Structure 1
């Protein structure tokens, strides 16, 4: 069993649990493989739009991040496969900076995820899609409707799949229905089936994987995985590999969502 999406204490909005705490909990759950995919530093020149500016780890901590994971690999050698990874943000307009970062640090990675959290809004500034329900409501008001936010999110996910980010571009696309995080407070009439199918077609053509993310099941305004069951079934029809990710930001969240997600055997 693999968990391909785990955060660490290097995440400013995460936990103080150590990487050893995570690994020991993973072993209790019977994991055979785990990927630490910390939020990579945001691109040079990009200003984090969140109030606390805590969306990603600091550039200055990269060496210590890599070293800490290497130490865990050595300590738990033969017990579990530990992967060094990142969750890399795709930010429209910062493709060159992101490619430069990946060219520098990609050789040190075993695994990685490419995700969309930030949307370039009509004014040319950026919004964090999943920060809070109140913030999401403000974004929807600025965009004219909740549906417009979802549509723009899926358009940005598609751009991330098609973007040229160099040879170390992550091959797994993160939580492709993250726009649903606050769906029970901000319901939509349109499931955006066409947009999601287009995303799946391009994931398949590129030979990429999908992050099958359990975090949404624990979110009180979502209560479903990213993506939900109908999208998983469509992905399987397209021959797309899905990799379970707890998206844990503390050790006790490892395995979240598994009880309500489709068991996929490869």
Structure 2
């Protein structure tokens, strides 16, 4: 089925004000049969957004409005396309219980969901790993090496997969190689393929899915999908479901990367 399982909306502070109806119309024009709106879930109580602009997620007071807006477009387009109510939920080390509490309360409203790692905990401090090249450079200074950032990222990703976040825990792992976002500027000396294989093994054991994310192709310092081709092929060989996601933050991003993703057709 032609599906985009990772779409953001006007409720994202670092996105645009494009209307949900516009996303649906664009999806129809692309021939999509199913889409999931997966806005960044509100961050847990007590967690301070480390992104400089404090714009990583939607606000809690907008959550109900978000659900209502999706319900509205579902009713308008019910005979034309399957629309899923979803969230992209952050896994944040040290805030597992708060995240489980949130999911226990709101998970019943979800048709689809993604679990992602954007924030790393190191030395008692949190960092947003994908905010900008400048913030990544500051992380390198604090972590000591680029490779240490990668090590902590994949360790946190494994932790997210194994953590018990309750019955509504998302079963799709978001952009699992997001740490590669600035790799053209900050190349690594160590090969992390073993760590990626460990992540794939954990996903397979849990019976989870992978967000096959095309956004990385359009990040000038990345230029590849999340995960890259070799890892996507390995996932398919292991029978791990790949779900295409544009990770669109504006209407024009829908479908991005599909023509560049070697294994995209194999996930339909």
TM-score of the superposed pair, with normalisation by structure 2: 0.98
Matched residue, 1:91: 92
**Where in structure 2 are the equivalents of 1:91-170 lying within 5 Å?**
91-122=92-123, 124-170=124-170
Aligned 8 A contact 2:244 2:267 in 1: no
Matched residue, 1:264: 266
Matched residue, 1:22: 23
Matched residue, 1:246: 246
Supply the distance in 2 between the matched residues of 1:58 and 1:121 (Cα, whole angstroms).
25
Matched residue, 1:201: 201
Aligned 8 A contact 2:243 2:267 in 1: no
Aligned 8 A contact 2:89 2:113 in 1: yes
Supply the distance in 2 between the matched residues of 1:114 and 1:211 (Cα, whole angstroms).
9
Q: Which runs of 5+ in 2 are unaligned?
A: none
Supply the distance in 2 between the matched residues of 1:7 and 1:207 (Cα, whole angstroms).
25
Deviations 1:108-128 (A, max 9, x none): 000000000000012x01000
* Alignment root-mean-square deviation, CA: 0.7
* TM-fit CA distance, 1:206: 0.3
* TM-fit CA distance, 1:232: 0.6
Deviations 1:46-96 (A, max 9, x none): 000111111000000011000000000000011000000000000000000
Q: Which runs of 5+ in 1 are unaligned?
A: none
Supply the distance in 2 between the matched residues of 1:255 and 1:249 (Cα, whole angstroms).
12
* TM-fit CA distance, 1:191: 2.7
TM-score of the superposed pair, with normalisation by structure 1: 0.98
Per mean C-alpha deviation after superposition, the further-off stretch among 187-196 and 71-80 is: 187-196
* TM-fit CA distance, 1:12: 0.5
- What SS class does the counterpart of residue 170 from structure 1 fall into? coil
Deviations 1:14-45 (A, max 9, x none): 01101001000000000000000000000010
Supply the distance in 2 between the matched residues of 1:247 and 1:137 (Cα, whole angstroms).
24
Deviations 1:152-208 (A, max 9, x none): 100000000000100000000000000000000001122311111111001001000
**Where in structure 2 are the equivalents of 1:22-41 lying within 5 Å?**
22-41=23-42
Going from structure 1 to structure 2, the CA distance change for 1:114 and 1:265 (only over 3 Å counts) comes to closer
Supply the distance in 2 between the matched residues of 1:13 and 1:167 (Cα, whole angstroms).
30
Per mean C-alpha deviation after superposition, the further-off stretch among 102-111 and 256-265 is: 256-265
Per mean C-alpha deviation after superposition, the further-off stretch among 177-186 and 139-148 is: 139-148
Supply the distance in 2 between the matched residues of 1:91 and 1:156 (Cα, whole angstroms).
8
Supply the distance in 1 between the matched residues of 2:42 and 2:267 (Cα, whole angstroms).
33
* TM-fit CA distance, 1:233: 1.1
* TM-fit CA distance, 1:251: 0.4
Supply the distance in 1 between the matched residues of 2:148 and 2:101 (Cα, whole angstroms).
31
Supply the distance in 2 between the matched residues of 1:201 and 1:157 (Cα, whole angstroms).
12
Question: Is 1:232 paired with 2:224?
Answer: no
Supply the distance in 1 between the matched residues of 2:116 and 2:77 (Cα, whole angstroms).
29
- Over 6 Å off, 4+ runs: none
- What SS class does the counterpart of residue 157 from structure 1 fall into? helix
